Structure 1
Amino acid sequence: MRIAVVGQIARDLVLVVPEVPGSGGSAEVRERREVLGGKGANIARGTRQLGATAALIGVVGDDREGRLLVEQLGADGVATTAVVRREATRTALIVDVVCDGEYRYLEDIPGPTLVTVEDVQAASALLAGADAVIVQLQQPAETALAAVRAAGGLVVLDGAPGGRQAELLAAADVVRADHREAEALTGRRITDVEAAVKAGRELLARGPSVVALAVPGEANVVAWDNGSAVIPLTAAEVADTTGGGDAFVAALTVALVRGDHPEDAGRLATTAAGRAVRHPGGRTDLTGLSQD
């Protein structure tokens, strides 16, 4: 399986604290992790751990942090030939402050670290030769559309586009969204399973053949052309939901590419997300997941 991911690369700084201080206050940091992150990097790494050949189209700065992140991607088995080192910019930084299972993000994502249409065009052969292309929709809409059009295999959209929504959905095979993203896509409140099923069927009518939507704290809903399934979340104790969606889309894509039924793919993806939320930060090990 050859899977290409178009998405974000960032340095993740994860801080676990007993409380989030108010203005002028301070708090002890109980745990600190500095790791390779960003949704694109997390997804690519997850697909590699699940047995696929993974390649990432993303951008880092021309600084020491960018060099180290590219080295880590390579060490994780992700192909980096299409990762761009952008001159005169700094690598993206995401600070994840975790307290009692809840998180707050501080993000420094310079505009030049977003993937451009030109970056996609430079990687067109890689995208055309992949069995699946995952497009992480924090990237500009024009970039996402260029990636979708260059894809030679299964097209997976992760998130909600900021523009060109109709064109992107029409060209997609699979759409995965959390409840906020699903609300942005459909204009429908996703407050329960029934609403998610209705939203999924609405999105199917707009182009995709498989839609996976999250119902917070309850389940994932997977819908396909002639059916749907409600898959309860795992019983894992949640330390931090960061990375859960990334693990979900990585496992969902791998399962669909190898020919699993959408319901089975959704169950594997839900298990992957359950593994990801057990620890602070988005860096997760999905190796051996199918044996869980």
Structure 2
Amino acid sequence: MNTLTTSFSTHHSYSHTPSTFHTTLTPIQSLSFRTPNHNFRLLCFSSDPSHSLPVVVVGSANADIYVEIDRLPLEGETLAAKSGETLAGGKGANQATCSAKLSRPTYFIGQVGDDAYGSLVTGALRSGGVRLDSLTVVPSVPTGHAVVMLQSNGQNSIIIIGGANSSGWPSSLARQHLDLVAQAGIVLLQREIPDYVNVQVAQAARNAGVPVVLDAGGMDGPLPPQLLNFVDILSPNETELARITGMPTESFEQIAQAALKCHELGVKQVLVKLGHKGSALFVEGEKPIQQPAILAKTVVDTTGAGDTFTAAFAVALVEGKSRKECLRFAAAAACLCVQVKGASPSMPDRNSVLDLLNRQ
């Protein structure tokens, strides 16, 4: 028998200057609806849209060291780069920045080192509007960083050094972090932090009735079954989908069969990113929803495009848009992302995405 209970949850709204954050507390009424297997929380009212249920991103933050080259070097070859610079990145930070720039209240739970890279990443997140109360500085390890080899056609090759993303996490997450997860409208995870962290977060979200989106990008190892049990939407690209399932993904029919394998593994929804071929959402028991790519006239840098897509989809979803609308919104955001160099710096704002959609 289902039970319906009424509760009041407290949410935090933050206004900030570049160096300070001010906290106010606003009660929001919500309904908790329990079934034998899940709890679902529905927002009943909020007097101010800025107090809407937030996106919570748990994941990685990197300093991306960019080198621009005409082509990748051959084995044993040395090439001169045309230019080089360091920009903020990391799948978690990218998704948090994207969500915040799309005008959704966004919190980031992650780790950086006490070093120059950590300061760079923290500054970029803060300037993007991300709320950083749950960002931890770990003095004993360096900030995660990556070497991004950017070719003239906009394609890239990336080497990641985990640093604070993979080391220094506690065996049990702090209660305030799990409480924040339980207060979210949706939670975004990726695989550039330890699996045991993702499992704790996903379980806390499931217990609170909060949907979880897992971006499959990051570690190459198999997905832990206990993590898949708590994930509502798995979001791989074609290569990641092939790795997860051990199946080919060269045609749409093959992708559909691989998505069916994910359903068998326990994931009800599979959001597949197909690059210039668009995207597709596979919901168990339903017809796939396909979305063509919105193609950019000029591709400057594809770094972060998948993160933009996943985060934009999640923002649209938590706002109550239809699945088709979510896919279209995400496609527009990704189109804008690839036209700007850098990962976090290329995340589009909400007005730009809506303007692009209005021109389609």
Q: Distance in 1 between matches of 2:126 and 2:248?
A: 41
Q: Comparing 44-53 with 264-273, which one deviates more in the overlay?
A: 264-273
State, as a whole percentage, how many aligned pairs show the same letter.
25
1:10-89 paired onto structure 2 within 5 Å: 10-22=62-74, 23=76, 25-30=78-83, 32-89=84-141
Q: Note the alpha carbon deviations across 1:199-250, whole angstroms, 9 max, x for none.
A: 2233234433431113354231111242212222222133322101100111
C-alpha change, 1:19 and 1:230, in structure 2 (3 Å) is same
Q: Note the alpha carbon deviations across 1:24-56, whole angstroms, 9 max, x for none.
A: 5332424x4422111100000101111211111
Shift >6 Å, 4+ stretches:
none
Q: Comparing 218-227 with 13-22, which one deviates more in the overlay?
A: 13-22
Q: Distance in 1 between matches of 2:319 and 2:204?
A: 21
Q: Distance in 1 between matches of 2:180 and 2:214?
A: 17
AA of the residue aligned to 1:52: R
Q: Comparing 138-147 with 270-279, which one deviates more in the overlay?
A: 270-279
Equivalence for 1:133: 187
User: Residues 173 and 207 of structure 1 are in contact (CA less than 8 Å); yes or no, is this contact kept in structure 2?
Assistant: no
Matched residue SS, 1:71: helix
1:182-221 paired onto structure 2 within 5 Å: 182-221=241-280
Q: Distance in 2 between matches of 1:184 and 1:24?
A: 30
Q: Distance in 2 between matches of 1:112 and 1:213?
A: 25
1:231 aligns with 2:291: yes
Equivalence for 1:101: 154
User: Residues 101 and 347 of structure 2 are in contact (CA less than 8 Å); yes or no, is this contact kept in structure 1?
Assistant: yes
Equivalence for 1:286: 348
- The normalised TM-score by structure 1 is 0.91
AA of the residue aligned to 2:332: T
Deviation at 1:268, TM superposition (A): 1.5
AA of the residue aligned to 2:340: H
AA of the residue aligned to 1:74: R
Deviation at 1:21, TM superposition (A): 4.1
Matched residue SS, 1:93: strand
Q: Comparing 168-177 with 231-240, which one deviates more in the overlay?
A: 231-240
Q: Distance in 2 between matches of 1:241 and 1:262?
A: 24
Q: Note the alpha carbon deviations across 1:55-103, whole angstroms, 9 max, x for none.
A: 1111101113213322331221111111111122111111211113221
Q: Distance in 2 between matches of 1:268 and 1:227?
A: 20
AA of the residue aligned to 1:186: T
Q: Note the alpha carbon deviations across 1:140-196, whole angstroms, 9 max, x for none.
A: 221111010111311111106745532222211111101121112222111121212
Deviation at 1:116, TM superposition (A): 4.5
1:263 aligns with 2:307: no
Q: Comparing 79-88 with 162-171, which one deviates more in the overlay?
A: 162-171
Q: Comparing 174-183 with 211-220, which one deviates more in the overlay?
A: 211-220
Structure 1: where are the runs of 5+ without partners? none
Equivalence for 2:302: 241
Matched residue SS, 2:172: helix
- The normalised TM-score by structure 2 is 0.74
AA of the residue aligned to 1:105: I
Q: Comparing 164-173 with 201-210, which one deviates more in the overlay?
A: 201-210
Tell which has more relative contact order, 1 or 2 (C-alpha 8 A, sep 6+). 1
Aligned residues: CA RMSD: 2.2
Equivalence for 2:215: 158
Q: Which protein is bigger by CA-based radius of gyration?
A: 2
User: Residues 173 and 200 of structure 2 are in contact (CA less than 8 Å); yes or no, is this contact kept in structure 1?
Assistant: no
User: Residues 61 and 90 of structure 2 are in contact (CA less than 8 Å); yes or no, is this contact kept in structure 1?
Assistant: yes
AA of the residue aligned to 2:308: A
- Counterpart of 1:148 (choices 187, 193, 202) is 202
User: Residues 53 and 78 of structure 1 are in contact (CA less than 8 Å); yes or no, is this contact kept in structure 2?
Assistant: yes
Deviation at 1:122, TM superposition (A): 4.7
Structure 2: where are the runs of 5+ without partners? 1-52
AA of the residue aligned to 1:13: I
Q: Distance in 1 between matches of 2:229 and 2:81?
A: 49
User: Residues 47 and 54 of structure 1 are in contact (CA less than 8 Å); yes or no, is this contact kept in structure 2?
Assistant: yes
